[in-house]
Structure 1
Amino acid sequence: MIVYAVDLGTTNVKVVRYDDAARARATASSPMHYHREGDRVTFDPDTVVDTVLDLIRAAGREAPETESSASIVLTGQAESLVLVDAQGQVVGPGISWMDERSGVQAREMAAAFDPDEAFAITGEPEPVPTWPATKLRWLAQHHPEVLPRVRHVFMIKDFVIWRLTGRAVGEETTRGFTYLYDVSRRDYWPDMLDFCGVTPGMMPEVVPAGATVGPVVPRLSERLPPASYTVNTGALDHFCAMLGTGTYAPGQLSVSAGTVLALSMLADGWTHDPTFRVSFHAGLRPDDTVLFSCADSGGVCLGWLQEILGADGDLGAVEPQLRDVDRGAAPLFLPYLTGLNPPDFNPRARGAFLDLQLRHRRSDLVYSVMEGVAHLLRRNLVDLGAHGQSATSLTSAGGGTASDVWNQLKADVTGVELTVPREPQDACRGAAILALAAGGTIGSIDDTAHLSRPPVATYRPRADPLTDQRYAAFDTALQRLYGP
């Protein structure tokens, strides 16, 4: 069986073609296009579908070996909102998760619902403009003529599946990113639906991760390479990445080292605790719960520093100099340029360099930023462990893993071994494994012994009292400057 794994990313749409041993045979990608106006970020949903079809065709040309059957499996972003009427036409443009128009509505939700109860229901510590629920309430208030026309309330992955198959389904791992879903009951939250002006009948049927939805409708299958196609729901990109890198197990923390610092881990004996402010979601198997935490201050801090210094974004250029930095004399960096970061969620926190001196050079500042993000990672690991979810290993993917110095620094600061699979499309690989399991090529997502595996680099922590001293200084500075 051929698998076309589709990653509906925020920046790019990617398609990777895999064989039945999960070996990548071809890759094609195209940028996502947005219209930005003030705090609004929108897109054309049907253009996304056309892009997916074009990329599958391109990947098919690149790897022309044929099979009688093929699966299209989807992963990628979750929250971007698409509305469709009873005639199958899109109602207005798609609204990206990056759209910030609904800040007032997020605050209204926070005031209208008990925060602990809402957290226990939705799996999200607080309502934010990212969630589709807030955009629906914005539409109900500012354009009351829109929602009465709507037949289907989709997120972007739901919409693509619907266009491909004609079935209105919503894959379970993405439901917790709507703020409309009761994660514990595995059903939509009636009170929030009503608050947002939508009805249960407008919401797609919830189906499990990795479920086969059905065949591609004939008018679209004609645009694809010759084969008999089925469509698979896949799962959220972060959770697919866990599967793609072999970390979908309790105690194995998956770290996305991209623009943000995103952490995912399969929970071990999960019971909701309102003091443990990590989001929780349906996982890849029935009854699984995956913990997910996202700190905006990840690689974006390094990108910011390089931009203001007028430096090349290539980490390789500065890597040799980082090895010679006097670690004990380097400035400390608090990576709170975006304010709130888990596990502290302190709205008063701000970014800062401490002990900055004239003698410090670019390499000192780059090292300090890398170390500050590693300190933030350690804070999250400590918080996980304090709530019974200790991480015994770290696996990292993303652009930040190009730096060996940064990888080693994260292992040293956390005291936990870190591995970096050299798999550039980890989410697509995980989605492909879901499709192979659904198609019967493998027995289950745990039956991966005969599949190809990406090479792995391993970074073992090195004990050094200075490492703990600098983390203690970081913690003290954070508390003294901004308090609990």
Structure 2
Amino acid sequence: MSLRLTCGIDIGSTNVKVLLIDDEARTRWSRSIPVPRVEQDGRPSTDAGSLVRTIEQLIIEGWRATGSTDPIAAISSTGVGEDGLPVGADLQPLDLALPWFDRRAEDDARWLRSHLDQQVRAGVPLDGTRTAAKWHWLRQHRPEVMTRAATWIALTDYPLAWWTRSPFMSMTLAARTGCYDVFERCWLPSHLEMTGAPALPPVVPAGTVIGNVVRGPLLDSGAASTSTRVVSGGHDHPIAASVVRRIDPDAWVDSLGTANLVYGEAVAIEPRTDPYVAFSVPALGNPGIACLGVFEFSAALEPLRARDQGVALKEFLASQEAPGHPGSISAILRSLERALGMAPAGEAFPPELDTRTVLEASCFYARRTLACARSVGPEGNRLYAVGGWARSKALLQLRASVLGEALHTIDEAELTALGAALIALTASDPGRRDSVQRATSVVFPHKDWESRYEAMYSELLRLFEGWERVRCAN
């Protein structure tokens, strides 16, 4: 059967997904499986070669399942922002990729913060999750690997670079390193020198054709040909947001994955520091600046998973309506302190912090983040909830009630992979109209809860502002 397909790959913190769409941007096949991990020094890491083989198997499986006899027209990828690896001149990995959530480089980040100037131009706080901190750590602990490195490739870009034999870095991934000037869109030389960064490949915006598939099982199986275009994508949350903004160009996006990220775009602004908002380049490389507010959502819920094997959390998320009633402001405050690392070290998880209270706390933090982001970008535009957690009607009802506004959703299970597939589709057919059709729905606040949460937020706002003064001072 003749069927023209394009492919989107989403390399997440937890799962890797592959999605195939046709020329009308209709999903023809998708699948999600756990990211293949290995242990190194007792910690999870990623073998980039194994990851490529896993993705190739998924693409071939999907292509065959569609019944298509035509090679895939174009492929793009999106995924984790900070993970990467040193490679040789032949692009073979020289080491495993440390995940962004690996915190062994925290001391390196503190040292870098005390020695680097122009940090505001990087748009993101320099902490242990950043690629910059990992570079410095690798220079100290694995110098032989960094010395041998011909270049560095972001893990999200690696499959594309491997298939084309062309190293590159997607611009939204460069922006997550802590060494890229997101306002001028160029590297910060002093940061690269201080962090010990290896030689870096060209930085390109999303939608850049890197080359064609020139090797591997995709060719051998017929799923791809040497005419299959390979197209740069980038950071997962912004790429997911780009789908929403194709439907609603001025939307704000509340992306609920392993991390919660609020995303919007604004006209050019002066470099600034904000305790809630990081700055980046827009998802598709458009003019202006992207505003990103991040909260480690999954980590905040980890104690709930440990308690009774997470049964209460699963039951809450599976409900059609959020069970229970608004919690007390003291319990919400205590949950926020724990999530932000302000609780006493070693303190046991308090029994009064039930599932709803912990979720409420994360929603209040999101509300403050959204307010700060909107103070920079356009205000009052519709807010869309996307990501795996956005499939829970109970969570969205609770979140809408705390935020005090309706949440719009899009009927697409793998929105992030779809974003990459649409980038590939546009690159394979430059003359096509840049649009996508998906059903949308709206979740409204619970009227009885909304006023209660509004009063709580007014009180919490004073506490937020106190924390902000401390964080900005540090």
Shorter-chain TM-score category?
A: 0.7 to 0.9
| More off after superposition, 147-156 vs 243-252 | 243-252
Shift of 1:218: 3.9
User: 1:470 pairs with 445, 449, 456, which one?
Assistant: 456
Aligned partners of 2:276 and 2:294 also within 8 Å: no
User: 1:217 pairs with 214, 219, 238, which one?
Assistant: 214
1:429 partnered with 2:427 = no
- Which residue in the other structure is 1:418 paired with? 407
Q: Distance in 2 between matches of 1:198 and 1:482?
A: 32
Query: Is there any run of 5+ residues in structure 1 with no aligned partner, and where?
Result: 341-346
Q: Say if 1:305 and 1:61 are closer, same or farther in 2 by CA, change over 3 A.
A: same
Shift of 1:171: 1.1
- Which residue in the other structure is 2:319 paired with? 319
Q: Which amino acid aligns with 1:467?
A: Y
SS at match of 2:234: coil
- Residues 192-226 of structure 1: CA deviation (Å, up to 9, x unaligned): 22112345xx2011111111111101444224425
Aligned partners of 1:6 and 1:15 also within 8 Å: yes
Q: Distance in 2 between matches of 1:49 and 1:77?
A: 15
SS at match of 1:374: helix
1:73 partnered with 2:76 = yes
Q: Which amino acid aligns with 2:271?
A: H
Give the alignment of 1:293-304 within 5 angstroms.
293-296=293-296, 298-304=297-303
User: 2:205 pairs with 194, 204, 208, which one?
Assistant: 208
Q: Distance in 2 between matches of 1:349 and 1:442?
A: 55
Give the alignment of 1:328-367 within 5 angstroms.
332-334=331-333, 335-336=335-336, 339-340=339-340, 348=342, 365-367=354-356
- Residues 414-444 of structure 1: CA deviation (Å, up to 9, x unaligned): 2222112121100111112212221226545
Q: Which amino acid aligns with 1:416?
A: E
Give the alignment of 1:31-50 within 5 angstroms.
31-37=34-40, 40-50=43-53
Shift of 1:275: 4.4
SS at match of 2:73: strand
Q: Which amino acid aligns with 2:133?
A: T
- Which residue in the other structure is 2:93 paired with? 90
Aligned identity (percent) is 25
| More off after superposition, 36-45 vs 88-97 | 36-45
1:162 partnered with 2:161 = yes
Shift of 1:279: 1.3
Q: Which amino acid aligns with 1:203?
A: L
| More off after superposition, 385-394 vs 471-480 | 471-480
Q: Distance in 1 between matches of 2:10 and 2:90?
A: 28
Q: Say if 1:331 and 1:64 are closer, same or farther in 2 by CA, change over 3 A.
A: farther
Q: Which amino acid aligns with 1:236?
A: H
- Which residue in the other structure is 1:287 paired with? 287
- Which residue in the other structure is 2:119 paired with? 118
Aligned partners of 1:75 and 1:234 also within 8 Å: yes
Q: Distance in 2 between matches of 1:322 and 1:36?
A: 38
Aligned partners of 2:183 and 2:289 also within 8 Å: no
Q: Say if 1:461 and 1:172 are closer, same or farther in 2 by CA, change over 3 A.
A: farther
Q: Distance in 1 between matches of 2:467 and 2:115?
A: 32
Q: Distance in 2 between matches of 1:195 and 1:329?
A: 47
Q: Which amino acid aligns with 1:293?
A: G
Q: Distance in 1 between matches of 2:214 and 2:330?
A: 59
Aligned partners of 1:101 and 1:129 also within 8 Å: yes
| More off after superposition, 187-196 vs 328-337 | 328-337
Q: Which amino acid aligns with 1:133?
A: A
Q: Which amino acid aligns with 2:24?
A: A
Aligned partners of 1:244 and 1:429 also within 8 Å: yes
Aligned partners of 2:116 and 2:191 also within 8 Å: no
Aligned partners of 1:331 and 1:368 also within 8 Å: no
User: 2:22 pairs with 19, 27, 33, which one?
Assistant: 19
Aligned partners of 2:85 and 2:153 also within 8 Å: yes
Q: Distance in 1 between matches of 2:55 and 2:275?
A: 39
Aligned partners of 1:173 and 1:281 also within 8 Å: yes
Q: Distance in 1 between matches of 2:36 and 2:261?
A: 24
Q: Say if 1:414 and 1:350 are closer, same or farther in 2 by CA, change over 3 A.
A: farther
- Residues 135-157 of structure 1: CA deviation (Å, up to 9, x unaligned): 22222223332222110111112
Q: Say if 1:67 and 1:224 are closer, same or farther in 2 by CA, change over 3 A.
A: closer
User: 1:108 pairs with 100, 106, 111, which one?
Assistant: 111
Q: Say if 1:278 and 1:475 are closer, same or farther in 2 by CA, change over 3 A.
A: closer
Q: Say if 1:290 and 1:481 are closer, same or farther in 2 by CA, change over 3 A.
A: closer
Aligned partners of 1:5 and 1:429 also within 8 Å: yes
TM-score scaled by length of structure 2: 0.86
Aligned partners of 1:250 and 1:266 also within 8 Å: no
- Which residue in the other structure is 2:438 paired with? 453
Q: Say if 1:459 and 1:311 are closer, same or farther in 2 by CA, change over 3 A.
A: same
- Which residue in the other structure is 1:151 paired with? 150
Query: Is there any run of 5+ residues in structure 2 with no aligned partner, and where?
Result: none
Q: Distance in 1 between matches of 2:320 and 2:407?
A: 21
Aligned partners of 1:210 and 1:235 also within 8 Å: no
Q: Distance in 2 between matches of 1:261 and 1:142?
A: 31
Q: Distance in 2 between matches of 1:368 and 1:2?
A: 45
Q: Which amino acid aligns with 1:294?
A: V
SS at match of 2:68: coil
Q: Distance in 2 between matches of 1:269 and 1:226?
A: 40
Aligned partners of 1:330 and 1:365 also within 8 Å: no
- Which residue in the other structure is 1:236 paired with? 235
User: 1:56 pairs with 54, 59, 66, which one?
Assistant: 59
Shift of 1:294: 0.9
Q: Distance in 2 between matches of 1:438 and 1:396?
A: 27
- Which residue in the other structure is 2:265 paired with? 266
Q: Say if 1:273 and 1:479 are closer, same or farther in 2 by CA, change over 3 A.
A: closer
Shift of 1:381: 2.2
- Which residue in the other structure is 1:370 paired with? 359
SS at match of 1:146: helix
Supply the RMSD in Å over aligned alpha carbons. Answer: 3.2
Q: Say if 1:437 and 1:479 are closer, same or farther in 2 by CA, change over 3 A.
A: closer
Q: Which amino acid aligns with 1:44?
A: D
